[in-house]
Amino acid sequence: MLTAGGGRRWVEAADDLGGEFALSLKAWLIDEDAFASAYGLDPSGAVLVRPDGHIGWRSRAINGDPSHALRGALSAILHAGD
């Protein structure tokens, strides 16, 4: 997970949820306007980048509970082929 400069709550959510999904979920906060602009994010936005480099999910900004949003995104990505 990569977050824009105001995305500390995404980083905390990722730290909490990694164990819930039995995966190594790493999160980095990138406090550079060029990053947010390149990914189409507001200052509190985040993206999940798959191991193959593709974007698996994006939230332009924090809207509500980041843990809830991230849990839903991870569940959808991990169970897409079920």
- Two tokens, residue 58: 């994006």
pLDDT at residue 82, rounded to an integer:
64
- Two tokens, residue 36: 């947010």
Q: Using an 8 Å Cβ cutoff, are 25 and 18 in contact?
A: yes
Distance CA 82, CA 78 (A): 9
Q: Which fold has domain 2-64?
A: Glutaredoxin (3.40.30)
Among 14-18, 46-50, 63-67, name the one with the lowest average pLDDT: 14-18
Q: Residue 57 above 90 pLDDT?
A: yes
pTM over 0.85: yes
Domain boundaries, the chain: 2-64
Q: Mean pLDDT throughout 1-30?
A: 91
